[in-house]
């Protein structure tokens, strides 16, 4: 704690304890606790209590209040807990007899204040902070604290209940790992008292007839096995598990407990714990039985979790996969004529009738499918899946689902027609299926179905019934599969199919670009950009694109009334430019779009558009062009100069930031172009200006330095930081390390005075009104010599540090917090509600 | 009996982070998805992990509803939909959908600008999130799915703010969001019909306050601005891009016009253009006065207010500048503040609350020497004023809304515990309904008595009306029929029609009983004796002796046979339908007593 803070603290404590003061904003109290927490965290031995007697005094005076406000009481409980987290501070507070009055029987529990959820929550948090040493554990066990915690597990407030459960996990783990020296093999009287109490409580609750008690204990066990991987290595977790395994099994089989999803979570967490990584044993039998007995909806999360595990017996894995594939299998069977497709599975884990009935019911059909599809998507995203996914059948069943949803498939089987009735127009299922479809595009072996897949996708793209959100997903899936299609046609030379598909895609895209709904126009443009990014090198793609109306329509959208659409149009036009007239190959003949036109249009947007998104899009496209372009340096120089003059006055700092990025790219490219190749033979005749000078001249002509130096003083910090980075980069080029060793030398030079003044000005921060403009006595940003000196003289590294500190150090410093609390007390009226 | 349960990850007894989860007849709806501006870490968003415990968010939640564009109601939405992973439908009104992204973007820019945060939602995420939004019109019933429907009502407060009715079958909940029961300069008053929801979830910001007229505060504001400008000073008004800013712009614009003032008024950032555009676009959402004058002059086309340029801050002479952000914590407004703070002629007016740590908070709490970046000390000599313009319903307004909607239960959120307690008692006393005020994380469960609408077949209705008086809406009437539950619909039809529709044959259920009588005579004689006995006893009933030798009493049938082993004993077989259960039982007991000896 700094001296300033230590001086402010007594005043703050006195103010907090004063009941006449109006309540403080809760965030202040929370931040104050954060500060104490960080103080004790970084230095557990810090003597806060002895050094700051105002702290125990604060606790004493709050306890003396007849009716402390819930917020100040909650604060005090948490503060005491944090202070008591070390043994010495705990003893100090004990000597003052404070802890018993807070956390013991004389404390707020049972009183009127206990009615407040915030007080109960603070009590639990306080205890949690405190339990980091044995005396605290002992204190709780003897003061009847354990029963309170047990009871709070069933608190009406979810937050309190969950915090109580977490606290028990913490206490059990802490007690077992700190109080026992020898490894515990079987549960006996060796176990520490606190651990015994908790375990007895768990066992009793599991055997009780109360469903809520059982559920609480299951949740506690779940977080015990799930949260502390470290302690799960300990043998005691295995002992504990063996003790309760039978009980868990009976819950699974008896079906009397209505907390099946908690059971599934518990089993998954136990499976993840390293103790049970062996593939033998009764545990995996229990898991298998769970996969069989839980309903497909309950077993789904368990199955997908098991498939992610590295160590899991293969037969369990296969069974888990089967659980996930069952609904997809059922869909295939329901859709097919008898014996057309064999379905996905040879045998199922649970009775297929269960899945059939779930899919037949209107209420559960979409839910089961969405969950299954989400799990499958997760599996497809895994790098190492240790079982084979039947991708072809999966794709077929996905297509079937999508066809059910848009009514394109009317199966004859009664089950099929029921499912298709349930699914028609179901956006949720459509979106989930399209997500899986997109993920499946990266898997091999689905090539035979690709034609019919595009039929389905195109049907979705064309249908007026497709909702904008579904359309967006369809676009995403389509662009992924188009990439796959291209790869495929490269290998088997079936260009015709590809051309036909692309033609259809562009036809539908033309229609969608004119949609009255901005979401659709925007998604269409995003789709177009995604396609261009992936397929720009493909001849068929370029041909289909240029023969369509898409280019013209996209340019029209640069004037869209919706700014999001304008921005996407800018991005799309920018990418299209790269394959039409910026491409190194000869531009396509008859193309009515030329570069000058486009550049002019984009520049107009940059200088006149009233909204930030399109302007930001323009500047990032310009940067992209510059990165990829091969234009002449002179053109580029003028271009960059024009752009930064526009950007400099932009009100959106992200546009200015984009401008700096453009400058950075321009600088590095120019340096590359003008610097001599280090391996080139050195010419003896030095008639032309040195590369360094030429560089400086280019930069000055492009008016880079004015922009960069002014940006250092920008009112928005990221701009200043970026400008500083660019300048540091430039200095590195113009002043190799060796020449910068003695900056004094430069300062003393005749031109140095002006530069030193600039430096002072810059150091003073964002005093932009004092900053010189060209001419007058100010710095001439276009003079190469001054700029060279400026680069050398300004301490950019120090400036960089200063800018990086961010304004947060004022806002988040404890001193500022304490000052604010002191200033606020008694001065601010009750105006918090005006926040919004 | 059914349940409506509701829990608040972040709106109960707390201002900031509105987020309420309602379960109604098996449907789960999230009401608002707000953020807390006072925190820079995880605490700024509601704790969604409690919802994800129930499985995938998109599967668990049926929809999300956003009441209005303020960040404490929508600020966590892009985080929720693009980072936590909710992919289902989101509903808000058209103006909210248009304005929400502006504010989110504004806030993102400030956050990223100031803290260089990377773990925050991006512009692209805001856009992707807005693409998932379904915009609704006022009073339009939107079918979320086959069972769940929602409907928006006008809430005042800010442009596009709405209260939402959520309905599943006959159970319903109304969520008010923030609302205002008195019209202000540019918006009208909240209104809802007598929808009698099972639960009304109301904000209670001003639970105990009876607010004075906003006019006084407005006059005060204009006076202060005017005085400063008159003495040649500059006025800085830090605002967020949209909302309060437009309100104050209208105020100043009309005042400038009336007083013929010449000092320039500037609005920094290009955001205002779009904001004003939306106010023009959604003119139907503003109040009557603005709509009326719209034809002659659009209130949002400002004559005196011009776009700001960074160089203007150094111009001499008086001026008024609206600059973002609103709490003086970064960017333009902070830069202008630094320039003007040293001059006592100038003034800064904070039209809203500022969170701890910001320069706005510091100057409002009276601090005059501020440490700025680079350890410089900035001395604040300019005048600092605070003005409250927030538009929430006060205690009177809340009571008025309850009177309008006539809910069966009330739940208070978005307020301070102590104040809410006071209002709760008042509501319970006056309306005799239960009132709840759950803390964050607490679940409130309410029992409802769902009434299930049933269609009645015309035939049955005609038959019933033929018997009794004509149907009267005020007098409930009991009707009998067969209830058919088919394809989620309920129909009451006559039993005959039910049989026909279901293709079932009618079966008759008869009770039978054997009664033994000692009588050595022939069977037909015994039958005759029984007949005479019954005819004598049951004078009011139709007792018949049929040619086949059996007797009927109404629908009850009696046949006699000789006992197979003992010819002296006759067995009477009595059989009746369940409709005649009473008479059947009576007959049996009568026969069990035996036949009178004297009968000839």
Indicate left, alpha or beta for B569 from its phi (over 0: left) and psi (-120 to 50: alpha).
beta
| Tokens standing for residue B224 | 């202060």
| CB atoms B58 and A428 under 8 Å | yes
**pLDDT of A523-571, one tens digit each?**
999 999 999 999 988 888 988 898 889 999 999 999 999 999 999 999 9
Q: Please say if the pLDDT value at position A214 is more than 80.
A: yes
Number of alpha carbons in the 13 Å side-chain half-sphere of residue A294: 29
In chain A, what residues touch B89 (CB-CB under 8 Å)? 427
Best of B19, B23, B59, B236 to substitute, by most chain A Cβ atoms within 10 angstroms, is B59
| Tokens standing for residue A698 | 């280019």
Cα(A195)–Cα(A487) distance, integer angstroms: 61
Q: Which residue has the higher pLDDT, A785 or B262?
A: B262
What average pLDDT does the segment A263-277 reach? 84
Give yes or no for a contact between A231 and A195, defined as CB atoms under 8 angstroms apart: no
Q: What is the pLDDT of residue B46?
A: 86
Cα(B121)–Cα(B83) distance, integer angstroms: 8
Number of alpha carbons in the 13 Å side-chain half-sphere of residue A139: 26
Q: Please say if the pLDDT value at position A833 is more than 60.
A: no
Q: What is the pLDDT of residue A786?
A: 76
Q: Is the dihedral of CA A535, A538, A539, A540 positive or negative?
A: negative
| CB atoms B353 and A832 under 8 Å | yes
| CB atoms A469 and B132 under 8 Å | yes
Q: Kindly report the number of other CB atoms within 10 A of residue A414's CB atom.
A: 10
Best of A436, A569, A833 to substitute, by most chain B Cβ atoms within 10 angstroms, is A833
By C-alpha distance, the chain A residue nearest B131 is A519
Which residue intervals of A52-116 are DSSP H helices? Answer: 54-64, 70-83, 87-95, 99-103
Give yes or no for a contact between A391 and A433, defined as CB atoms under 8 angstroms apart: no
Question: Which element (helix H / strand E) includes A782?
Answer: none
Assess whether the previous peptide bond of B325 is cis (omega < 30° from 0). yes
**pLDDT of A697-732, one tens digit each?**
888 888 898 899 888 878 788 888 899 999 999 988
Cα(B278)–Cα(A603) distance, integer angstroms: 26
| Tokens standing for residue B565 | 């082993």
Number of alpha carbons in the 13 Å side-chain half-sphere of residue A307: 30
- Helices A784-793 & A691-701 angle (0-180, nearest 10): 100
Pairing of strands B162-168, B148-154: antiparallel
Q: Please say if the pLDDT value at position A231 is more than 70.
A: no
| CB atoms A610 and B273 under 8 Å | yes
**pLDDT of A278-336, one tens digit each?**
656 788 899 999 998 888 888 999 999 999 988 888 889 999 999 999 999 999 888 87
Give yes or no for a contact between B208 and B292, defined as CB atoms under 8 angstroms apart: no
Q: What is the pLDDT of residue A692?
A: 76
Q: Is A769 on the interface with B (CB under 8 A)?
A: yes
- Residue B31, beta-bridge partner list: B20, B65
In chain A, what residues touch B73 (CB-CB under 8 Å)? 836
Q: What is the pLDDT of residue A770?
A: 40
SS3 category, A221: helix
In chain A, what residues touch B43 (CB-CB under 8 Å)? 30
**pLDDT of A16-59, one tens digit each?**
988 877 667 778 899 999 999 999 988 888 888 888 999 999 99
**pLDDT of A42-54, one tens digit each?**
888 888 888 899 9
In chain A, what residues touch B70 (CB-CB under 8 Å)? 836
By C-alpha distance, the chain B residue nearest A119 is B439
What average pLDDT does the segment A733-760 reach? 51
| CB atoms B58 and A836 under 8 Å | no
| CB atoms A808 and B314 under 8 Å | no
In chain A, what residues touch B392 (CB-CB under 8 Å)? 833
Q: How does the average pLDDT of chain A come out, rounded?
A: 83
User: Of A533, A581, A575, which is closest to residue A554 (Cα–Cα)?
Assistant: A575
Cα(B530)–Cα(B538) distance, integer angstroms: 12
Cα(B36)–Cα(A25) distance, integer angstroms: 12
Best of B60, B270, B316, B332 to substitute, by most chain A Cβ atoms within 10 angstroms, is B270
Cα(A508)–Cα(A510) distance, integer angstroms: 5
**pTM, to two decimals:** 0.84
Q: Kindly report the number of other CB atoms within 10 A of residue B405's CB atom.
A: 21
In chain B, what residues touch A469 (CB-CB under 8 Å)? 131-132
| Sequence-distant (≥ 6) Cβ neighbours of residue B2 within 8 angstroms | B25, B171, B447, B448, B449, B450
Cα(A756)–Cα(A80) distance, integer angstroms: 54
CA distances, A549 to each of A43, A503, A540, A553 (Å)? 68, 11, 16, 6
**pLDDT of A164-204, one tens digit each?**
999 999 999 898 888 766 666 665 667 888 888 999 999 99
- Following DSSP, what letter does each residue of B472-501 receive, concatenated? BTTB------EEEEETTEEEEE-HHHHHHH
Q: What is the DSSP letter of B313?
A: G
In chain A, what residues touch B351 (CB-CB under 8 Å)? 834
Q: Is A827 on the interface with B (CB under 8 A)?
A: yes
What burial class does residue A744 get, using C-beta atoms within 10 Å of its C-beta: 0-12 exposed, 13-18 middle, 19+ buried?
A: exposed
Q: Please say if the pLDDT value at position A455 is more than 90.
A: yes
Give yes or no for a contact between A673 and A741, defined as CB atoms under 8 angstroms apart: no
User: Of A467, A404, A400, A459, which is closest to residue A431 (Cα–Cα)?
Assistant: A467
Give yes or no for a contact between B544 and B551, defined as CB atoms under 8 angstroms apart: yes
| Sequence-distant (≥ 6) Cβ neighbours of residue B194 within 8 angstroms | B404, B405, B406
| CB atoms A117 and B442 under 8 Å | yes
Q: In what order do the strands lie in the sheet with B2-7?
A: B133-136, B90-93, B63-65, B27-31, B20-24, B2-7, B443-448
* Angle formed at CA B197 by CA B191 and CA B201, multiple of 5 degrees: 70
Cα(A279)–Cα(A299) distance, integer angstroms: 20
Cα(A429)–Cα(A419) distance, integer angstroms: 12
Q: Is A831 on the interface with B (CB under 8 A)?
A: yes
In chain B, what residues touch A565 (CB-CB under 8 Å)? none
Give yes or no for a contact between A92 and A57, defined as CB atoms under 8 angstroms apart: no
Of the pLDDT bands very low, low, confident and very high (cuts 50, 70, 90), residue A677 is low
Tokens 């999360």 correspond to what residue?
A301
Q: What is the pLDDT of residue B74?
A: 94
Q: What is the pLDDT of residue B199?
A: 94
CA distances, A725 to each of A632, A677, A720, A747, A758 (Å)? 26, 25, 9, 22, 18
Q: How far is CA A602 from the centre of its chain?
A: 32
Cα(A217)–Cα(A199) distance, integer angstroms: 10
By C-alpha distance, the chain B residue nearest A770 is B314
Quote the radius of gyration of chain A (alpha carbons, Å).
35
Pick from B7, B37, B274: which is nearest to A158 by CB? Answer: B7
User: Of A290, A787, A156, which is closest to residue B443 (Cα–Cα)?
Assistant: A156
Q: Is A241 on the interface with B (CB under 8 A)?
A: no
- Helices A117-130 & A145-152 angle (0-180, nearest 10): 130
Would you tell me which residues 559-578 of chain A have a C-beta closer than 8 angstroms to some C-beta of chain B? 563-564
- Residue B444, beta-bridge partner list: B6
- Spell out, as residue ranges, where chain B has pLDDT lower than 50: 1, 599-600
| CB atoms B441 and A808 under 8 Å | no
| CB atoms A117 and B357 under 8 Å | no
Q: What is the pLDDT of residue B355?
A: 80
Q: Kindly report the number of other CB atoms within 10 A of residue A818's CB atom.
A: 21
| CB atoms B55 and A715 under 8 Å | no
Q: Which residues of B131-160 are buried (b: 16+ CB within 10 A; e: fewer)?
A: bbbebbebeeebebeebbbbbbbbbbbbbb
Q: Is A611 on the interface with B (CB under 8 A)?
A: yes
| CB atoms A116 and B439 under 8 Å | yes
User: A803 to chain B, minimum CA–CA distance in Å?
Assistant: 9
Q: Is A823 on the interface with B (CB under 8 A)?
A: yes
Pick from A121, A829, A835: which is nearest to B37 by CB? Answer: A835
A vs B, Cβ pairs < 8 A, gives 204
SS3 category, B411: strand
Q: How does the average pLDDT of chain B come out, rounded?
A: 85
> Catalytic amino acids of B?
203
What burial class does residue A815 get, using C-beta atoms within 10 Å of its C-beta: 0-12 exposed, 13-18 middle, 19+ buried?
A: middle
Cα(A465)–Cα(A459) distance, integer angstroms: 10
User: B195 to chain A, minimum CA–CA distance in Å?
Assistant: 28
Q: Which residues of A225-264 are buried (b: 16+ CB within 10 A; e: fewer)?
A: bbebeebbebebbbbbbeebeeebbebbeeeebebbbbbb
Give yes or no for a contact between A297 and A367, defined as CB atoms under 8 angstroms apart: yes
How high is the ipTM of this complex? 0.88
User: A776 to chain B, minimum CA–CA distance in Å?
Assistant: 18
User: A725 to chain B, minimum CA–CA distance in Å?
Assistant: 15
């Amino acid at each position: 704690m700094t001296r300033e803070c230590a001086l402010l603290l007594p005043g703050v404590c006195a103010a907090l304890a004063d009941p006449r003061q109006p309540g403080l904003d809760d965030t202040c109290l929370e931040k104050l606790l954060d500060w104490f927490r960080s103080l004790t965290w970084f230095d557990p031995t810090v003597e806060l209590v002895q050094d700051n007697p105002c702290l125990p005094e604060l606790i004493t005076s709050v306890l003396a209040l007849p009716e402390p406000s819930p917020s100040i009481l909650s604060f005090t409980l948490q503060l005491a807990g944090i202070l008591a987290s070390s043994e010495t501070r705990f003893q100090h507070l004990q000597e003052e007899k404070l802890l018993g009055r807070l956390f013991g029987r004389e404390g707020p529990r049972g009183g009127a204040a206990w009615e407040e959820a915030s007080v109960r929550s603070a009590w639990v948090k306080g205890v949690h902070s405190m339990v980091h040493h044995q005396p605290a554990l002992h204190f709780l066990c003897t003061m009847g604290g354990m029963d309170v915690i047990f009871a709070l597990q069933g608190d009406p407030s979810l937050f309190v209940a969950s915090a109580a459960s977490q606290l028990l996990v913490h206490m059990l783990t802490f007690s077992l790992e700190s109080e026992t020296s020898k490894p515990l093999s079987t549960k006996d009287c060796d176990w520490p008292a606190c651990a015994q109490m908790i375990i007895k409580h768990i066992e009793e609750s599991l055997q009780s007839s109360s469903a809520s008690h059982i559920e609480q204990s299951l949740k506690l066990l779940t977080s015990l096995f799930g949260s502390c991987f470290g302690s799960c290595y300990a043998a005691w977790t295995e002992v504990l598990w063996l003790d309760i395994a039978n009980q868990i099994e009976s819950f699974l089989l008896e079906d009397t407990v209505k907390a099946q999803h908690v059971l599934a979570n518990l089993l998954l967490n136990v499976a993840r714990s390293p103790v049970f990584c062996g593939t033998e044993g009764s545990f995996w039998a229990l898991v298998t039985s769970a996969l069989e007995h839980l309903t497909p909806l309950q077993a789904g999360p368990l199955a997908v979790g098991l498939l992610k595990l590295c160590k899991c017996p293969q037969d369990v894995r296969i069974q888990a996969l089967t659980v996930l594939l069952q609904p997809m299998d059922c869909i295939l069977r329901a859709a097919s004529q008898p014996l057309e497709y064999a379905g996905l599975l040879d045998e199922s884990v649970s009775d297929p009738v269960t899945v059939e009935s779930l899919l037949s019911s209107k209420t559960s059909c979409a839910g089961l499918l969405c969950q299954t599809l989400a799990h499958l998507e997760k599996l497809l995203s895994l790098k190492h899946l240790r079982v084979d996914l039947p991708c072809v059948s999966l794709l077929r069943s996905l297509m079937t689902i999508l066809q059910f949803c848009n009514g394109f498939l009317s199966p004859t089987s009664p089950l099929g027609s029921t499912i298709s009735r349930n699914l028609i127009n179901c956006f949720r299922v459509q979106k989930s299926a399209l997500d899986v479809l997109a993920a499946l595009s990266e898997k091999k072996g689905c090539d035979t179905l690709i034609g019919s897949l595009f039929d389905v996708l195109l049907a979705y793209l064309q249908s007026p019934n497709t909702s904008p959100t579904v359309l967006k997903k369809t676009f995403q899936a389509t662009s992924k599969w188009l990439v796959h299609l291209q790869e495929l046609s490269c290998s088997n030379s079936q260009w015709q199919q590809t051309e036909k598909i692309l033609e259809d895609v562009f036809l539908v895209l033309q229609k969608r670009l004119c949609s009255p709904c901005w979401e659709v126009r925007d998604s269409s443009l995003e789709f177009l950009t995604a396609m261009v990014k992936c397929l720009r090198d493909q001849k068929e793609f370029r041909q289909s694109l240029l023969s369509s109306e898409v280019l013209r329509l996209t340019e029209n959208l640069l004037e869209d009334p919706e700014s999001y659409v304008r921005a996407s149009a800018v991005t799309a036009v920018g990418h299209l430019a790269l394959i039409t007239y910026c491409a190194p190959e000869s531009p396509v003949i008859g193309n009515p779009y030329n570069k000058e036109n486009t550049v002019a249009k984009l520049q107009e947007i940059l200088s006149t558009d009233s909204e930030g998104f399109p302007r930001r899009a323009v500047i990032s496209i310009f940067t992209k062009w510059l990165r990829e372009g091969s234009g002449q340096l002179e053109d580029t120089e003028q271009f960059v100069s024009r752009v930064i003059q526009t950007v400099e006055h932009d009100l959106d700092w992200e546009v200015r930031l984009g401008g700096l990025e453009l400058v950075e790219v321009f600088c590095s490219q120019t340096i590359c172009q003008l610097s001599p190749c280090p391996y080139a033979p050195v010419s003896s005749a030095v008639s032309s200006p040195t590369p360094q000078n030429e560089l400086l001249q280019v930069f000055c002509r492009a008016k880079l330095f004015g922009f960069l130096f002014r940006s250092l003083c920008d009112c928005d910090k990221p701009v200043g930081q970026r400008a500083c980075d660019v300048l540091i980069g430039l200095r590195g080029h113009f002043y190799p390390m060796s020449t910068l060793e003695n900056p004094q030398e430069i300062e003393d030079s005749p031109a140095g005075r002006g530069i030193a003044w600039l430096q002072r000005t810059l150091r003073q921060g964002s005093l932009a009104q004092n900053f010189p403009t060209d001419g007058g006595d100010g710095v001439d940003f276009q003079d190469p010599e001054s700029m060279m000196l400026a680069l050398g003289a300004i301490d950019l590294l120090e400036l960089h540090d200063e800018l990086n500190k961010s304004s947060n150090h004022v806002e988040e410093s404890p001193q500022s917090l304490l000052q604010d609390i002191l200033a606020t007390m008694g001065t601010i009226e009750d105006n918090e509600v005006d926040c919004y | 009996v059914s349940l409506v349960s509701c829990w608040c990850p972040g709106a109960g007894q707390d201002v900031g982070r509105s987020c309420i989860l309602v379960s109604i007849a098996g449907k789960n709806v999230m009401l608002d998805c707000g953020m807390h501006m006072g925190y820079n870490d995880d605490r700024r968003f509601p704790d969604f992990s409690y919802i994800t415990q129930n499985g995938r968010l998109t599967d668990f939640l049926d929809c999300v509803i956003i009441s209005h564009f303020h960040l404490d109601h929508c600020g966590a939405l892009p985080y929720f939909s693009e980072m936590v992973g909710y992919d289902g439908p989101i509903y808000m009104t058209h103006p909210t959908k248009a304005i929400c992204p502006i504010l989110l973007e504004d806030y993102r820019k400030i956050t990223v600008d100031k803290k260089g945060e990377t773990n925050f939602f991006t512009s692209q995420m805001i856009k992707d999130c807005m693409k998932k939004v379904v915009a609704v019109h006022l009073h339009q019933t939107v079918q979320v799915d086959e069972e769940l429907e929602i409907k928006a009502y006008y809430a005042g407060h800010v442009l596009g703010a709405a209260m939402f009715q959520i309905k599943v079958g006959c159970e319903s909940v109304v969520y008010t969001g923030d609302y205002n029961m008195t019209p202000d300069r540019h918006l009208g008053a909240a209104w809802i019909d007598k929808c009698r929801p099972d639960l009304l979830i109301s904000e209670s910001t001003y639970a105990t306050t009876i607010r004075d007229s906003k006019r006084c505060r407005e006059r005060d504001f204009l006076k202060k601005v005017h005085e400063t400008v008159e003495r040649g000073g500059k006025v800085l008004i830090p605002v967020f891009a949209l909302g309060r800013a437009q309100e104050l712009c209208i105020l100043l614009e009309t005042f400038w016009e009336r007083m013929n003032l010449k000092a320039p008024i500037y609005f920094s950032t290009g955001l205002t253009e779009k904001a004003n555009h939306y106010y023009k676009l959604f003119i139907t959402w503003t109040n009557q006065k603005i709509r009326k004058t719209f034809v002659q002059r659009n209130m949002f086309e400002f004559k005196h207010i011009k776009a700001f340029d960074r160089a203007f801050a150094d111009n001499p002479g008086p001026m008024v500048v609206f600059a973002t952000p609103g709490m003086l914590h970064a960017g333009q407004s902070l830069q202008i503040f630094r320039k003007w703070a040293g001059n006592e002629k100038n003034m800064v007016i904070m039209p809203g609350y500022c969170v701890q740590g910001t320069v706005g908070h510091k100057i409002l709490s009276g601090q005059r020497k501020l440490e700025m970046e680079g350890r410089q000390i900035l001395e604040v000599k300019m005048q600092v004023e605070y003005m409250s313009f927030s538009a929430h319903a006060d205690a009177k307004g809340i009571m008025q809304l309850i009177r309008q909607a006539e809910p069966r239960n009330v739940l208070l959120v978005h307020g301070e515990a102590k104040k809410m307690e006071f209002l709760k008692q008042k509501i319970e006393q006056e309306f005799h309904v239960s009132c709840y005020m759950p803390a964050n994380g607490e679940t409130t469960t309410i029992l409802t008595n769902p009434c299930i609408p049933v269609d009645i077949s015309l035939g049955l209705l005609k038959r019933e009306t033929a018997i009794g008086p004509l149907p009267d809406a005020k007098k409930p009437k009991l009707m009998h029929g067969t209830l058919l539950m088919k394809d989620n619909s309920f129909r009451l039809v006559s039993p005959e029609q039910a049989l026909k529709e279901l293709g079932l044959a009618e079966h008759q259920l008869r009770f039978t009983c054997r009664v033994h009588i000692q009588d050595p005579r022939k069977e037909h004689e015994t039958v005759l004796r029984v007949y005479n006995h019954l005819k004598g006893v049951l004078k009011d009933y139709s007792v018949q002796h049929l040619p086949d030798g059996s007797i009927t009493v109404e629908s009850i049938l009696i046949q006699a046979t000789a006992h197979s082993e003992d010819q002296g004993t006759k067995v009477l077989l009595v059989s009746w339908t369940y409709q005649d259960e009473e008479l059947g039982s009576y007959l049996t007991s009568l026969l069990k007593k035996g036949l009178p000896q004297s009968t000839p």
